[in-house]
Amino acid sequence: MSNEVRFKYIFKEEYNPKYVNGAYGGVSPSGEIIVNFYFERLPLPKADTYQLTNDGKIEGPVAQDPKDLSNLGIRYVQNGVILSLEHAKAIHQWLGTKIDEASELASQRVKSKE
């Protein structure tokens, strides 16, 4: 009897990893952990209006729709996952190991630049 196990990974043709820079979620009434991943960015206007000079060059902008975007932020929810407590703990441990590896690599890069 072998003490090895092999997993085959199956990817759909349209597999496309997404960049995220935040997460929002909590614990469901049944005790599962819900994580919704999002990408946070500044909002884009629906439209800008620019002034044209007499020689056809663009100056401005002179108007924007909506007028004020300064107090808005966009959190585009990319995906979400629901995990059992057991699986969340296993992924937490795995992620901690990967964070340690990435930190060590970053430290080595800084040392090599010195």
Report the pLDDT averaged over residues 35-39.
96
* Burial of residue 66, with CB atoms counted within 10 A of its CB: 0-12 exposed, 13-18 middle, 19 or more buried: exposed
- AA letter at 99: I
Specify the pTM.
0.70
With beta carbons less than 8 A apart as the criterion, state whether 45 and 65 touch: yes
pLDDT in tens, 12-32: 999 999 999 999 999 999 999
Q: Would you call 49 helix, strand, or coil by DSSP? A: strand
Is 36:49 a contact under the CB 8 Å cutoff?
Answer: no
* Mean pLDDT, the chain, whole residue set: 92
Mean pLDDT of all residues in 40-52: 88
Q: Where are the beta strands (DSSP E) in 17-70?
A: 22-27, 33-41, 47-52, 58-65
